[in-house]
Amino acid sequence: MKKLLYIARYPALAVLLLMLLAWTPVLAQNVVYQGETTQLSADQKPGDTYAWELYNDSTVNFAIVPGACPTNLADFVGGNTGATVSVEWKQPGTYFFKVTALNITGCTQNLKIGIVKVLPSLPSAKLDLDPLDICIGESAELKVTFSGKDPWSMKLQAKDVATGITSIEDHSGITAAGNPLRISVNPNTTTEYTVIEVSNAFGVQTIPSNSVTLTVHPLPEKTPIYLKIP
């Protein structure tokens, strides 16, 4: 670790080096979402080994201070050595990583600082339906429960089970006070409902929600009523 020891003796040089090392990653910072596991990679050079560290404090001297990011905020998955490592980002915030390259003698060849911005999880929607079957002319209540930060917008798809024909309704400006959102539905045919998109200020979730199906029973044909006289 000869180079790091040399840097530690000259703080001004360390600050300048960190500014240079951090400049490009800061301009091209990675943005991920809470709960995601992503990879960090360095260009593999023959004979070099790599050690990675995580920080959640931008005020430290990365050149000499070991990474001390609490594991409940972000943590390596499967170890912190190798040209490529995986990190699980557990909480929103701004994080820094350092990768140190060591040659075969254990001396520092190079180090690099990068930054990762972790945003709150993408929003999601969950559907519930009550009742699950009605007669034509009756109504059911569709309940949409959102996760993430309000306000939300969503696209609700209604699919005619018999014909496959779909229609999409846009809903926007949904606040926490209106979560869950309750929608009265009264189709004339059996219909499947799915939220195909939900969004908020942090991004757009395009993975569909669960689907619920409202079975619609036809009315019986009118027939004369005969009274049986004893």
CB atoms within 10 A of CB 96: 21
- Nearest 10 degrees: Cα torsion 15, 20, 26, 30: -110
Burial class of residue 213 in the structure, from the number of CB atoms within 10 Å of its CB (0-12 exposed, 13-18 middle, 19+ buried): middle
Distance CA 53, CA 124 (A): 32
Q: Give Cβ neighbours of residue 105 (< 8 Å, ≥ 6 apart).
A: none
Distance between CA 38 and CA 44 in Å, rounded?
18
**Arithmetic mean of pLDDT, 163-179:** 97
Nearest CA among 96, 146, 95, 87 for reference residue 122? 146
Q: Residue 11 has what pLDDT?
A: 44
pLDDT digits (tens, 9 = 90+) for 94-131: 999 999 998 877 776 578 899 999 998 999 999 999 99
Do residues 199 and 147 touch, judged by C-beta distance below 8 A?
no
SS3 state at 72: coil
How would you classify the pairing of strands 211-217 and 133-135? parallel
Distances (CA, A) of 73 to 2, 39, 94: 32, 16, 10
Q: Provide mean pLDDT across the span 168-191.
A: 97
The set of residues, in sequence order, having a beta carbon less than 8 Å from that of 43 and lying 6+ positions away, is 83
Beta strand spans in 72-210 (E): 74-77, 84-89, 93-102, 108-119, 124-130, 133-135, 140-147, 152-160, 166-174, 181-185, 191-200, 203-205
pLDDT at 13: 37
CB count, 10 Å around CB of 219? 8
Burial of 68 (0-12, 13-18, 19+ CB in 10 A): exposed
Walk me through the domains of the chain, giving residue ranges and CATH numbers: 2-119 (2.60.40.10), 124-217 (2.20.130.20)
> Which two three-digit tokens encode residue 143?
């309940």
What percent of the chain has a predicted confidence (pLDDT) above 90?
A: 66
Alpha-carbon distance 93 to 197, whole Å?
Answer: 25
pLDDT digits (tens, 9 = 90+) for 208-228: 999 999 999 998 877 776 666
Q: What is the pLDDT of residues 133-156, one digit of tens each?
A: 999 999 999 999 999 989 999 999
> Above 60 in pLDDT, residue 172?
yes
Cα distance between residue 75 and residue 57, in whole Å:
15
